[in-house]
A and B are shown apart, each in its own frame.
Chain A
Amino acid sequence: MTAAVATRGLTKSYGPLLAVEPLDLELEAGVVLGFLGPNGAGKTTVIRMVTTIVRPSGGSFTVAGLPDSRPAEIRRRIGVLPESAGYPEAQTGEEFLRYHGRLYGLPRGGAKAAARRLLVEVGLGERASSLVSTYSRGMRQRLGIARALVNDPQVVFLDEPTLGLDPAGQRQVLVLVAGIARERGATVLLSTHLLVEVEEVCDQVLILNRGRVVANGTVAEVARRAAAPRRARVQVPPGLRDRAKAALADTDRLRIDEVENRPDELELTIAAGIDPELEAADALRRLLAADVPVLGFTLEGGRLSDAFLAMTEAG
């Protein structure tokens, strides 16, 4: 199966500054990829390279099976919402979409129909005839997403589509993103800082830090692989909490805290870099060896936000 996006040693430098280190990436068709990284990590530069807006300093890429030597054909197959995209204030939403539709080769009538359909799809049907200057930021972002879909693209790049939106606006945009993948079958590369939402919407995650890929895989894989601390809760009979603490105390791999107002619970923090499953099993063995009945044991799932912080702060 042809990868929707594939890069080989893709790199970009601005003078002495290496903005993107050689990047190897393969994104399968139909996948929603969460493209994460702190500000200045190189996300926008990568997106601009594979969308043919910025020329790479080295390496190569293909998009929708087309090599980077055919930029016009690549542009025909992709939809992009650029970061901080501007909008012509004096055009109406429909006029804006119609214009872009025609630039993609749609006939006049087809562009008009596509514009109206997309405006309804993104919830702007009733504002189709309003000037863009009267749109809120959230409405503009939704208009930008509609524009990115005007050519029915195979691959959609959304660079910070939720930037500057309130929670309701963020939710609306993320619902749209999920819809693009589900209903259109398009591959989506979503650059964002909303980690919780990435966990909901994305199949895969790629974390970039200082121009270098520090993690790549499914959300669960990345969270598990991250050198982030994990937490576990142990429930023991109330009178045996001190004995449980003593049984677990002879290791520096665990930090043990009592849970406030819960005399039967301990919170264990497993140090970064330690396999949490193995450490949890070892803790259980030691409790049982110390004759402490374990009434409950919960290993909290690795969170993407923890992984993100661990990977990007370490860099």
Chain B
Amino acid sequence: MTAAVDHTPGRPATPAWLVVAEQELRDLWLAGRGLSLTLAFSVLLSVTTYLVATNRGLNFLEQREAVNLTLQIAVAVGALLVLLGGGDAISGERERGTLETILLTPAPRRALVVGKAVAAFSLWLAAFAVSVPYVWFIGRGVGVVGVALVSGFIVGGLLALFLAGLGLFVSALAGSNRLSLSIGLFALLALFAPTQMPTAAQHGWAGDLLLRIDPLTSGLHYLGKLIVDAHSAGADASWLIAPVVAALLVPALALGVSGRLSLRRPEHA
């Protein structure tokens, strides 16, 4: 039995966040639900694409609108997957009894959160990758595919960062996994709620403000301006303020609470 570990503090061979991220990605994509969720998403996208294409044939949807709708579905479902991934990341480990052994390692708490965020974010990348051929198929011939993919990747990426942070923030603080996922889903529904407002209400100053401060609706609105209305990227950049702020602020909050990661179950056996 030989001493294998240098006990002097210093940089580990690989940064701890990268070690965590590698393992989380392996758990998610090789042994976990990543592939099955992506498969389910591709089935959903196939169905919606078929419906959109059919409607386009009947002139119910313009081709640009069809691309926008497909991309919005990709962003919405990707956001949901990221939120679920983040929401389960810490409270799930706590519930399965595996968090304590992780917390007992010298890896910084912040590194654990970053590593888990990377894994949650990968769900968005997979959702986006799946949506690419569908967007290309629907948008071919009208010169919108490039803009749609680039803007969709950026906006979706910002929203995925925001929701990964939100999921991890709630997961770090929630007393149970069920509570964490419930709060996350409720928050997602609340974020989507402004899209269900009557058109007239959306055009008033209050509706406009609500759409702008909600990162999800403002991001989707920006996509619509670029893809459907063919505006330039800079013309409506103000709609990106909320997604950018949320993508920076909420993950920072999640990192902030990472120092307080605990088992949360007082036991005195």
Known contacts A44-B268, A91-B31, A102-B19; A108 and B13 CB within 8 A of each other: yes
- Most chain A beta-carbon neighbours within 10 Å: one of B3, B7, B104: B104
User: Are A103 and B19 interface neighbours, CB within 8 A?
Assistant: yes
Q: A152 is contacted by which of B5, B101, B269 (Cβ under 8 Å)?
A: B5
Among A96-151, those with CB < 8 Å from B are 99-108, 110, 113-114, 117, 121, 144, 147, 150-151
Residue A281 at the chain B interface, CB threshold 8 Å: no
User: Are B104 and A75 interface neighbours, CB within 8 A?
Assistant: yes
Residue B172 at the chain A interface, CB threshold 8 Å: no
Known contacts A86-B98, A108-B13, A147-B101; A19 and B268 CB within 8 A of each other: yes
Provide the residues of chain B in CB contact with A298, threshold 8 Å: none
Lowest 5 A-B CB distances belong to which pairs?
Answer: A86-B97, A105-B12, A90-B31, A19-B268, A107-B13
Residue A288 at the chain B interface, CB threshold 8 Å: no
Chain A residues within 8 Å of B, Cβ to Cβ: 12, 14, 17, 19-20, 39-45, 48, 51-54, 72-73, 75-78, 80, 82-88, 90-91, 95, 99-108, 110, 113-114, 117, 121, 144, 147, 150-152, 154, 160, 183-184, 211
Chain B residue nearest to A183 (CB atoms) is B1
Known contacts A87-B98, A121-B1; A103 and B106 CB within 8 A of each other: yes
Residue B198 at the chain A interface, CB threshold 8 Å: no
In the complex, 7 of the A-B residue pairs with CB atoms within 8 angstroms, ordered by the A residue number, are A14-B268, A43-B269, A45-B267, A84-B97, A85-B98, A103-B12, A104-B5
User: Are B5 and A105 interface neighbours, CB within 8 A?
Assistant: yes
Q: A42 is contacted by which of B2, B12, B268 (Cβ under 8 Å)?
A: B268
Cα distance A99–B105 when bound, in Å?
Answer: 11
Provide the residues of chain A in CB contact with B208, threshold 8 Å: none
How many residues from B make CB contacts under 8 Å with A?
A: 38
User: Are B13 and A106 interface neighbours, CB within 8 A?
Assistant: yes
- Most chain A beta-carbon neighbours within 10 Å: one of B14, B100, B266, B268: B268
Known contacts A75-B105, A90-B27, A103-B105; A85 and B97 CB within 8 A of each other: yes
Residue B57 at the chain A interface, CB threshold 8 Å: no
Residue B4 at the chain A interface, CB threshold 8 Å: yes
Chain A residue nearest to B95 (CB atoms) is A86
Known contacts A53-B103, A75-B106, A103-B16; A151 and B5 CB within 8 A of each other: yes
Q: Is chain A's interface secondary structure helix, strand, loop, or mixed overall?
A: mixed
Chain B residue nearest to A105 (CB atoms) is B12
User: Are B101 and A211 interface neighbours, CB within 8 A?
Assistant: no
Name 15 extra pairs, CB < 8 A, besides A152-B2, A152-B5.
A45-B268, A53-B262, A73-B7, A75-B104, A75-B106, A78-B104, A84-B97, A88-B96, A91-B27, A103-B20, A103-B102, A104-B12, A107-B14, A110-B13, A152-B1
Cα distance A129–B269 when bound, in Å?
Answer: 34
Cα distance A51–B106 when bound, in Å?
Answer: 11
Cα distance A42–B267 when bound, in Å?
Answer: 8
B177 to chain A, nearest CB (A): 13
Cα distance A91–B105 when bound, in Å?
Answer: 18
Provide the residues of chain A in CB contact with B13, threshold 8 Å: 102, 105-108, 110
Provide the residues of chain A in CB contact with B12, threshold 8 Å: 102-106
Known contacts A99-B23, A108-B14; A85 and B101 CB within 8 A of each other: yes
User: Are A104 and B105 interface neighbours, CB within 8 A?
Assistant: yes
User: Are A152 and B27 interface neighbours, CB within 8 A?
Assistant: no
User: Are B5 and A53 interface neighbours, CB within 8 A?
Assistant: no
Chain B residue nearest to A186 (CB atoms) is B1
A295 to chain B, nearest CB (A): 49
User: Are B4 and A152 interface neighbours, CB within 8 A?
Assistant: yes
Cα distance A144–B26 when bound, in Å?
Answer: 21
Q: A86 is contacted by which of B9, B23, B27, B96 (Cβ under 8 Å)?
A: B96
Cα distance A73–B268 when bound, in Å?
Answer: 25
Chain A residue nearest to B99 (CB atoms) is A86
Provide the residues of chain A in CB contact with B108, threshold 8 Å: 72
Cα distance A83–B101 when bound, in Å?
Answer: 10
A284 to chain B, nearest CB (A): 45
Cα distance A39–B268 when bound, in Å?
Answer: 8
Cα distance A160–B269 when bound, in Å?
Answer: 10
Provide the residues of chain B in CB contact with A100, threshold 8 Å: 101, 105
User: Are A114 and B263 interface neighbours, CB within 8 A?
Assistant: no
Provide the residues of chain B in CB contact with A45, threshold 8 Å: 267-269
